[in-house]
Amino acid sequence: DTAVSQTPKYLVTQMGNDKSIKCEQNLGHDTMYWYKQDSKKFLKIMFSYNNKELIINETVPNRFSPKSPDKAHLNLHINSLELGDSAVYFCASSQGRAESFGPGTRLTVL
Protein backbone atom coordinates (compact mmCIF):
# COMPACT_ATOMS: atom_id res chain seq x y z
CA ASP A 1 0.00 0.00 0.00
CA THR A 2 3.04 2.28 0.28
CA ALA A 3 2.50 5.25 -2.01
CA VAL A 4 6.13 6.21 -2.56
CA SER A 5 8.77 3.65 -1.71
CA GLN A 6 12.53 3.83 -1.74
CA THR A 7 15.28 1.25 -1.45
CA PRO A 8 17.53 0.88 0.34
CA LYS A 9 16.56 2.63 3.54
CA TYR A 10 20.18 2.80 4.67
CA LEU A 11 23.29 2.85 2.51
CA VAL A 12 26.82 2.89 3.88
CA THR A 13 29.63 2.95 1.36
CA GLN A 14 33.20 4.01 0.76
CA MET A 15 34.28 7.22 -0.90
CA GLY A 16 34.74 6.82 -4.64
CA ASN A 17 32.11 4.11 -5.07
CA ASP A 18 29.11 4.29 -7.39
CA LYS A 19 25.69 3.62 -5.92
CA SER A 20 22.02 3.75 -6.85
CA ILE A 21 18.84 4.46 -4.93
CA LYS A 22 15.54 3.23 -6.31
CA CYS A 23 12.19 4.96 -6.07
CA GLU A 24 8.75 3.78 -7.06
CA GLN A 25 5.34 5.42 -6.74
CA ASN A 26 1.98 3.74 -7.16
CA LEU A 27 -0.07 6.94 -7.12
CA GLY A 28 -0.18 7.42 -10.88
CA HIS A 29 1.50 10.80 -10.49
CA ASP A 30 3.09 12.45 -13.50
CA THR A 31 6.01 14.14 -11.78
CA MET A 32 8.70 12.69 -9.58
CA TYR A 33 11.46 14.39 -7.63
CA TRP A 34 14.63 13.81 -5.71
CA TYR A 35 15.47 15.90 -2.67
CA LYS A 36 18.53 15.98 -0.44
CA GLN A 37 18.28 16.73 3.26
CA ASP A 38 21.64 17.53 4.76
CA SER A 39 22.86 17.37 8.35
CA LYS A 40 21.34 20.78 9.03
CA LYS A 41 17.96 19.34 8.02
CA PHE A 42 17.62 21.64 5.03
CA LEU A 43 15.58 20.01 2.26
CA LYS A 44 16.67 20.98 -1.22
CA ILE A 45 15.33 19.84 -4.56
CA MET A 46 17.80 18.06 -6.83
CA PHE A 47 15.71 16.99 -9.82
CA SER A 48 12.18 16.96 -11.08
CA TYR A 49 11.09 14.61 -13.88
CA ASN A 50 7.84 14.97 -15.79
CA ASN A 51 6.92 13.19 -19.02
CA LYS A 52 10.55 12.69 -19.87
CA GLU A 53 11.38 16.30 -19.15
CA LEU A 54 14.17 16.54 -16.66
CA ILE A 55 14.68 19.73 -14.72
CA ILE A 56 17.95 19.87 -12.87
CA ASN A 57 18.86 22.08 -10.00
CA GLU A 58 22.02 23.74 -11.29
CA THR A 59 23.83 23.25 -8.00
CA VAL A 60 23.70 19.46 -8.28
CA PRO A 61 27.03 17.93 -9.40
CA ASN A 62 26.89 15.89 -12.60
CA ARG A 63 27.97 12.85 -10.57
CA PHE A 64 24.28 12.61 -9.76
CA SER A 65 22.00 11.34 -12.50
CA PRO A 66 18.34 10.39 -12.34
CA LYS A 67 17.07 7.60 -14.52
CA SER A 68 13.41 6.90 -15.20
CA PRO A 69 12.62 3.54 -16.82
CA ASP A 70 8.91 4.38 -16.69
CA LYS A 71 6.48 6.86 -15.21
CA ALA A 72 6.32 5.07 -11.86
CA HIS A 73 10.06 4.94 -11.24
CA LEU A 74 12.81 7.49 -10.81
CA ASN A 75 16.12 6.07 -9.69
CA LEU A 76 19.10 8.10 -8.55
CA HIS A 77 22.61 7.11 -9.58
CA ILE A 78 25.59 8.62 -7.87
CA ASN A 79 29.12 8.20 -9.22
CA SER A 80 32.38 8.70 -7.37
CA LEU A 81 30.76 9.27 -3.99
CA GLU A 82 32.23 11.97 -1.78
CA LEU A 83 32.05 12.54 1.96
CA GLY A 84 29.80 15.54 1.40
CA ASP A 85 27.21 13.36 -0.28
CA SER A 86 26.27 11.93 3.12
CA ALA A 87 22.66 12.96 3.69
CA VAL A 88 19.12 11.67 3.58
CA TYR A 89 17.73 11.46 0.06
CA PHE A 90 13.98 11.68 -0.39
CA CYS A 91 12.04 10.73 -3.46
CA ALA A 92 8.67 12.40 -3.99
CA SER A 93 5.87 12.47 -6.51
CA SER A 94 3.04 14.83 -7.31
CA GLN A 95 0.15 15.40 -9.63
CA GLY A 96 0.22 19.16 -9.90
CA ARG A 97 0.83 20.53 -6.46
CA ALA A 98 1.51 19.00 -3.07
CA GLU A 99 3.97 16.16 -3.07
CA SER A 100 4.04 12.80 -1.36
CA PHE A 101 7.40 11.76 -0.03
CA GLY A 102 9.08 8.42 0.25
CA PRO A 103 10.55 7.31 3.59
CA GLY A 104 14.05 8.47 2.68
CA THR A 105 17.41 6.78 2.14
CA ARG A 106 20.11 7.59 4.66
CA LEU A 107 23.41 7.61 2.78
CA THR A 108 26.65 7.56 4.71
CA VAL A 109 29.92 7.89 2.83
CA LEU A 110 33.00 6.78 4.76
Partner 1 sequence: RKEVEQDPGPFNVPEGATVAFNCTYSNSASQSFFWYRQDCRKEPKLLMSVYSSGNEDGRFTAQLNRASQYISLLIRDSKLSDSATYLCVVIGYSGGGADGLTFGKGTHLIIQP
Residues that bind partner 1 (CB under 8 A): 31, 33, 40-45, 48, 50, 53, 55, 90, 92, 97-104
Q: Contact 20/1 with Cβ under 8 angstroms?
A: no
CA distances to 11, 25, 28, 100, 104 from 96, in Å: 31, 15, 12, 11, 22
The nearer residue to partner 1, 64 or 90, going by C-beta atoms, is: 90
One-letter amino acid at 26 equals N
The nearer residue to partner 1, 14 or 97, going by C-beta atoms, is: 97
**Least distance CB 8 / partner 1 (angstroms):** 15
